[in-house]
Structure 1
């Protein structure tokens, strides 16, 4: 690409590193407020495209980004209107670049970073900066499992495993996801692997064949083992997986928040919050303090906590996460009283992930665009 564009992957790594990024988003206000490029040091402003059209006639394009530190990254849906805006800004003396492909290509970025563990297994964390979704490739010897894969990147996991010289035996979901379309079936089909879900998924209406695991069940991977650890609360079937000194907590415990308890249609949020409280204190916080927590999501304004991975120890989270020091009633009020809007299209996404509705690849990609919103305050 030329000096007037920035590729989405390059922007993602810059944001993750904590460097300042200034963004001017030329989409409509509602699109901007629903979903945008975000991060710990992102300064974003929404200036609709028609303001730049006016500025081309009257001048003063630079005034539209007054207050944003240069260089400025211009963003739109597909990278066309923002390219026009970036060009006008440059003509008016502003150091401006265009995000190639816009938000459409931003949603296709998937970064991979190692999660340090003390044991035979290698754990790779996949990070989707457009939504904060995290997934994992776990392997030892020549055997591997993919945990919480995204359907949009099914081929990526298989290709990465091949490059590492390992074969995927299992495609695993920690629960029935509400924020993204699961890649379990796509990975299993592509890699000739075994789809694996928690046994409680059957009670929620699972409509495709899969291996179901319960608390204490094990999936062997060379000399390592994925051990199921029931962790209900976010959903009734939520299951974490231990490997070596790490625990893949799915949507139960994050680095900056705990799970929301209201995305399962039949659940009573207050009762589910009490179940989550028990899961956190009796199961996850009962693990050794040096256990590495590798969650299913991260907040978009968070920084990596272990190298370039979004991971932290149980002991660190016990000290840094206020919700974990609350008494039960306070915790329940906190969790149920700080609920963001649900993920986009969550009811249909759940139906697709249960196999009760079909969605082609294009539809699946559109269904899940936006932030994950799976955490409570």
Structure 2
């Protein structure tokens, strides 16, 4: 038993426990719909609304409630911001349960950002992972120059500091496409570091309202003595363009480790079939036909994705090909995709115009808009 009435665990410490596969039970006291739409993946989870604990405490029935739950210790309590769950953790500790409260709740979890290094020749490639949403970003350092790919606005200062610590100047801040699930950090990084903002050549057709270098198919960006080569890969969006660095494929939302990007976020249900067909053509004709040893470094990790032995969310294309069911019948693929789309990302209708620069939001609002699952992938079969 922990006698500290304010015992808590930081998001970073909880993440380490999850990665080490240490036994932990998450007691999530949010409402059922909040829990089902977005939760911490990994450990055993039990959902009981905070209101049930309040009612049980008022009736003197907390022990009965806990007996029904039969929680496996240790327990970490979770709520939106760590306030209601702190009271529940205290109730548990008073009854001899080993319980801690997650600092900051799900909002604190969304502020966690972790890194691993992707093997690369003649360059250092850092993969940034936001466990709360599965968003992946990359910092490429070659010599005294660097580029950041798909940066998040909430962590713009992190890329700048990491490039500086590596003795490199941030030359480019690149988006593979106009994101719908998170606020882009391209402009924030550019403002802070002087890096050149770069977006795919098709972004103006979607209403891009700020100055940026436009990246056409097969265009190249020099970073130190290395080159990033653009590969137009439409489907998830019309402008989506992935980048190659030697054998590494920074695939954005075109290709994940076990899935691919959904086709309905740009033009809604009415355009989903056309973009699903385009996705099929891109996967079959451009991406899955690349050499087997290509290392896929995606823009998101799905809840079912498994990390590589080195801890990164990357995989050889030969492995990815085996996990993605791509039938010979193009129309069958289209029908399967449009009929199995998950709920759209929360607030995507506000996030897209913000990323295009047609509207502006402050940092606090930007962070709130991102809370929740990204849901950018088509559900794997």
TM-score by length of 1: 0.94
Counterpart of 2:26? 23
| Total equivalences in the alignment | 373
The correspondence of residues 146-295 of structure 1 with structure 2, limited to 5 A, is 146-265=148-267, 268-295=271-298
The correspondence of residues 103-182 of structure 1 with structure 2, limited to 5 A, is 103-117=106-120, 119-182=121-184
* Distance in structure 2 (CA, Å) of the matches to 1:132 and 1:34: 14
Counterpart of 2:101? 98
* Distance in structure 2 (CA, Å) of the matches to 1:2 and 1:306: 39
Is residue 32–residue 46 contact of structure 1 (8 Å, CA) maintained in 2? yes
**Is 1:54 aligned with 2:87?**
no
**Shift in Å at residue 59 of structure 1?**
3.2
* Distance in structure 2 (CA, Å) of the matches to 1:129 and 1:278: 31
Is residue 172–residue 195 contact of structure 1 (8 Å, CA) maintained in 2? yes
Note the alpha carbon deviations across 1:53-95, whole angstroms, 9 max, x for none: 2333333166267244221110011112111111111222222
Segment drifting more, 297-306 vs 6-15: 297-306
Segment drifting more, 53-62 vs 148-157: 53-62
Note the alpha carbon deviations across 1:204-231, whole angstroms, 9 max, x for none: 0000000001111111011111111100
Note the alpha carbon deviations across 1:81-117, whole angstroms, 9 max, x for none: 1111111112222221110111111110011111113
The correspondence of residues 290-305 of structure 1 with structure 2, limited to 5 A, is 290-305=293-308
Is residue 11–residue 109 contact of structure 2 (8 Å, CA) maintained in 1? yes
**Shift in Å at residue 301 of structure 1?**
4.1
**Shift in Å at residue 290 of structure 1?**
0.6
Is residue 260–residue 339 contact of structure 1 (8 Å, CA) maintained in 2? yes
* Distance in structure 2 (CA, Å) of the matches to 1:252 and 1:64: 48
Counterpart of 1:88? 91
* Distance in structure 1 (CA, Å) of the matches to 2:293 and 2:5: 46
Note the alpha carbon deviations across 1:246-275, whole angstroms, 9 max, x for none: 000000111121111010027721111111
Segment drifting more, 4-13 vs 309-318: 4-13
**Shift in Å at residue 298 of structure 1?**
0.7
- RMSD of the TM alignment (CA)? 1.8
Consecutive unaligned residues in structure 2, runs of 5 or more: none
Question: What SS does the aligned partner of 2:205 have?
Answer: coil
Question: What SS does the aligned partner of 1:226 have?
Answer: strand
Segment drifting more, 295-304 vs 154-163: 295-304
* Distance in structure 2 (CA, Å) of the matches to 1:115 and 1:327: 35
Question: What SS does the aligned partner of 1:358 have?
Answer: coil
Counterpart of 1:44? 45
> Residues 61 and 185 from structure 1, CA distance in 2 versus in 1: closer, same or farther, beyond 3 angstroms?
farther
Is residue 16–residue 303 contact of structure 1 (8 Å, CA) maintained in 2? no
> Residues 65 and 90 from structure 1, CA distance in 2 versus in 1: closer, same or farther, beyond 3 angstroms?
farther
Is residue 109–residue 129 contact of structure 1 (8 Å, CA) maintained in 2? yes
The correspondence of residues 290-329 of structure 1 with structure 2, limited to 5 A, is 290-321=293-324, 323-325=325-327, 327-329=329-331
* Distance in structure 2 (CA, Å) of the matches to 1:176 and 1:97: 39
**Is 1:12 aligned with 2:15?**
yes
Question: What SS does the aligned partner of 1:208 have?
Answer: coil
**Shift in Å at residue 327 of structure 1?**
3.4
Consecutive unaligned residues in structure 1, runs of 5 or more: none
